[in-house]
Amino acid sequence: MRYTIRTLSLACAMSFASFGAVAATNVTFWHSMEGPLGERVNDIVKDFNASQQDYAVQATYKGNYGESMNAGIAAYRAGQSPDIIQVFEVGTATMMYSKGAIEPVQEMAEKAGNPLDPKAFVPGIAGYYSDTSGKLVSMPFNSSTPVMFYNKDLFKKAGLDPEQGPKTYADIEAFAKKLKAAGVECGYTTSWPAWVLIENFAALHNVPYASKDNGFGGLDARIDLHSDAFLKHFEFLSKMSKEGTFTYGGRGDAANALFISGKCGMFTGSSGTRANILKNGKFEFGVAKLPYYADVKGAPQNSVIGGASLWVFSKKSPEVYKGVTAFFHYLTKPEVAAKWHQDTGYVPVVKAAYEATKTSGYYDKNPGTDVPFEQLNVETTAQSRGVRLGFLPQIRDIEEGVMESMFSSKVSIKDGATDMEKRANELLVRFENGNK
């Protein structure tokens, strides 16, 4: 068989093209975003892959946060872990203390020769996912924070200014009394009571929630809810509950339904609730910052985050880490991070994405959507950067159960605080012993 020079040239070109295609380094990414959120993740991955030829990210939905985290840990033990895994914020301590299993992302990026700048991120977000030296251990991705939502229609009914939401807890009490007098069933409620009324309360008022800088300083952290600030806070809420102006709506996000149904005038919950309110709430609503006690010096400080971040497993090749680093840099591009923020309702994790969104006029057209960013865009303190404790989901469950008893007068405030501390600290001792 005879080959012409042209044929050989074409064959070589095809060979090199094929070689280039298979030479792309694969990066596996397990996440917990389903439905529209999952579609958006897939779009981001698709766009990244199309933007360059060296790396190919493969995104896979692995169930909810708990399921995905358990699957990732099991896969690591079996030597089959993904390169990247999305983990909810309450799993941060567990991931950090999984010694040898995790590659801290800032160190990874530095070794890859393509450093990540922690100062580019919103302080309240970067601080949560950083070690004691200020270096990022995981990549901020989808972050939320609690805010105050209020029903403008019910405010009008009660003779309140619909353009002025409550700023302080004194405002909440006064507004709730007017709402009740106007026949409104529920003045104020909250979802995620432990997250909002304990963890975020502590951060906003710069009050320690646990020793060792809320767990950031070591495994031997213990919860302390007997400070005057917490006891006065629980007493205040208990008083409102007895007066019928505060409704304990249940654990987790159970109270969402009270507000979305139009029964409640004021509601603190995740900023990510906004999409659900827009879709299912049959009323006009406003968004304000979290309430605080005006007599506490320095308040309000900053709120703390929810959501999740991206973790990188250890024992991967240098090329994989270069690919992961390139993908993380892509996620921080202002236009990419801004679109993710606007499409999902999550907080922009990099400051440039906020500026890009603001410049576009998005916040003017969607009032209140900048509140979560403003609450987090504050230099954090040792007491306000967040909570890093083991068994945090279980601790929250304990706290919410006891708060229910407090607010229904089944247990005294001091006895309730003691019970919360005792049971939570028993879990923290178990976590410490299991991770020494």
> Burial of 297 by CB count in 10 Å (0-12 exposed, 13-18 middle, 19+ buried)?
exposed
The pair of three-digit structure tokens given for residue 46, joined into one six-digit string: 């698709």
Q: What is the DSSP letter of 32?
A: -
Q: Are 273 and 191 in contact (CB under 8 A)?
A: yes
Q: How far apart are CA 345 and CA 91, in angstroms?
A: 22
CA-closest candidate to residue 385, choices 67, 177, 28, 130 = 130
**What radius of gyration do the chain's Cα atoms show?**
24
Indicate the DSSP class of residue 186.
E
Contact 244, 180 (CB under 8 A): yes
Side by side, the strands of the sheet bearing 55-61 are 55-61, 25-31, 84-88, 306-312, 139-144
Dmax over Cα atoms in the chain, in whole Å?
A: 97
- pLDDT, one tens digit per residue, over 30-62 is 999 988 889 999 999 999 999 999 999 999 999
Q: What is the mean pLDDT of residues 185-210?
A: 97
Distance CA 333, CA 231 (A): 44
Q: What is the DSSP letter of 246?
A: B
Q: Which of 6-10, 187-191, 201-205, 281-285 has the lowest mean pLDDT?
A: 6-10
CA 51/CA 106 separation, integer angstroms: 23
How high is the pLDDT of residue 56? 98
Strand 146-151 to 285-288 pairing: antiparallel
- Ordered alpha helix ranges (H), 266-412: 274-280, 318-331, 334-344, 351-359, 362-365, 371-376, 392-407
The whole-angstrom separation of Cα 83 and Cα 16 is 28
Across 373-378, average pLDDT: 89
- For 18, residues 6+ apart whose C-beta sits below 8 A from its C-beta are none
The band of 279, judged by pLDDT with boundaries at 50, 70 and 90, is confident
CA distance 170 to 176: 10
Instruction: Give 364's pLDDT tier (boundaries 50, 70, 90).
Output: very high
Q: Domains, the chain, ranges and CATH?
A: 22-144+305-365 (3.40.190.10), 146-303+390-435 (3.40.190.10)
- In this predicted structure, the answer to whether residue 5 has a pLDDT above a threshold of 50 is no
Q: Residues 425, 429, 435, CA angle at the centre, nearest 5°?
A: 140
Q: Across the strands, what pairs with 31?
A: 61
This prediction has a pTM of 0.83
Per-residue pLDDT band for 18 (boundaries 50, 70, 90) equals very low
Q: What is the DSSP letter of 292?
A: B
Q: Name every residue whose Cβ is closer than 8 Å to that of residue 183 and which is 6 or more positions away in sequence.
A: 157
Tokens representing residue 1 in the block:
């068989």
Is the per-residue pLDDT at 304 higher than 60? yes
DSSP reduced 3-state for 110? helix
What whole-number distance in Å separates Cα of residue 376 and Cα of residue 341?
A: 14
Task: Give the span between the Cα atoms of 107 and 123, in whole angstroms.
Answer: 19
Query: Is the pLDDT at 323 greater than 80, yes or no?
Result: yes
Q: What is the pLDDT of residues 330-350, one digit of tens each?
A: 999 999 999 999 988 899 999
Strands (E), 232-320: 264-270, 285-288, 306-312
CA proximity to 311, closest of 110, 45, 91, 48: 91
Report pLDDT for 127: 85
